[in-house]
Amino acid sequence: MSSSQNINVGKRDLGSAKLVTTLSFAGLLSGLIIVLAYESTLPTITAHKAMVMKEAVFKVLPGVNRMQRLVYRNGMLAASEQVRKDDEVIFSGYDASGRLVGYAIAGAGPGFQDTIRLLYGYIPETREITGMEILESRETPGLGDKIYKDPAFVANFDSLSIDPEIRAVKKGKRSAANEIDAITGATISSKAVVRIINEANRLWLLRIEQAVKPEGKG
C-alpha cells in the first residue's frame, strides 16, 4: 500500500514538472510574439496619433501653419520634444511669418456617458476662442454626439469671448459674445463642453499670460 502511494506521489511530481514547463513555455512564446507585434506596430500608431493631434491643432487655430509643443514645468512654459507621462502639455501655433498666433489647449472632463476630451484654440491678444474639436467622446448617438456632428454647435466656438466665463444658453437665446447655443435634447453634453473649457481656462490662462508678457517686454 505504502509503495503504491510512493509511486503515485512520484508520478504526480513528474506530472507537475511537465505542467509547469508547458505553461512557462506557452507564456514565454506568447510574450515574445506580443512584444514583436507591439514593436512592429508602435511607430505607425504613434505617428497616427501625432498626425491626428496636429490636424486638430491646425483646425482650431485658423491661419496657423506651424505648431510647437509646450510643456509646463516649474511655473514656466518650455518647448519640449520629450514628454513625460504626467506632463501638462499645450500647443502654440505660428503663422507663415513666424508670429505667435495663439495656443491650442486640451481639456477633459465628464460628459453624459464617459469622459469627453477636446481641444480648443485660444488667442491671448483678443481673449477669444477660435475653434473647438472633440477628440474623444462616447455621447449618445443622435443626441449628445451633436457636440461634434452638428456644424451649427461647433460654429458656436469660432469666435467666442471667454470673459467673464463661457455660458450655455437655450438654443436661439444667444445674445452676448460669451454665450453659446446649447443643443436641444443634449443640454448635459453641451454644458459639459462649456464646463471643460472653463476649467481648462482657469488652469491655463494665467500661465499663458505669464509666458507671453516677458516675451512682449523683451
Interface with other proteins (CB under 8 A): 15, 18-19, 22-23, 26-27, 29-30, 33-34, 37-38, 41, 44-45, 48, 52, 136, 140-143
Which residues are paired to 116 by β-bridges?
109
Nearer to other proteins, 90 or 186 (CB): 186
Q: Are strands 66-73 and 167-169 parallel, antiparallel or unpaired?
A: unpaired
**Least CB distance to other proteins at residue 106 (A):** 17
**Least CB distance to other proteins at residue 180 (A):** 24
Q: Is 176 exposed, middle or buried (0-12, 13-18, 19+ CB in 10 A)?
A: exposed
User: Would you state the cell numbers that stand for residue 202, as one nine-digit string?
Assistant: 482657469
Nearer to other proteins, 15 or 63 (CB): 15
Nearer to other proteins, 7 or 23 (CB): 23
Nearer to other proteins, 28 or 206 (CB): 28
Nearer to other proteins, 146 or 195 (CB): 146
**Least CB distance to other proteins at residue 147 (A):** 16
N- to C-terminal Cα separation, the chain: 96
Q: How far apart are CA 161 and CA 144, in angstroms?
A: 24
**Least CB distance to other proteins at residue 109 (A):** 19
Q: How far apart are CA 162 and CA 183, in angstroms?
A: 20
Contacts 24+ apart (CB under 8 A), 80-88: 88/203
Q: How far apart are CA 47 and CA 43, in angstroms?
A: 6
**Least CB distance to other proteins at residue 45 (A):** 5
